[in-house]
Amino acid sequence: MKASELRKKSVDELQQEINVQLERQFKLRMQLATSQLGQTHQIKDVRRNVARIKTILNQKESESND
């Protein structure tokens, strides 16, 4: 997921997306713990997506405070 795509979304959509990503991260971690996850790079990708979303949410929040 690209940052430019995320910037076009509203705050509510970003909140929903972060919840989806966190749920996906939980499921991937459970699969890793039970040795069912073959593509371990997905965990890193989800973690970075969460960070991107949080960064953009903070940017939008600081813009609205100005």
Terminal alpha carbon distance of the chain = 28
9-52 residue pLDDT tens:
999 999 999 999 999 999 999 999 999 999 999 999 999 999 99
Q: Are 56 and 14 in contact (CB under 8 A)?
A: yes
pLDDT at position 64: 87
Q: Are 6 and 52 in contact (CB under 8 A)?
A: yes
pLDDT band at 66 (very low <50, low <70, confident <90, very high): confident
**What kind of fold does domain 11-65 have according to CATH?**
Helix Hairpins (1.10.287)
pLDDT at position 1: 78
pTM: 0.89
Supply the DSSP string of 1-64, one letter for each residue.
Answer: --HHHHHTS-HHHHHHHHHHHHHHHHHHHHHHHTT--S-THHHHHHHHHHHHHHHHHHHHHHHH
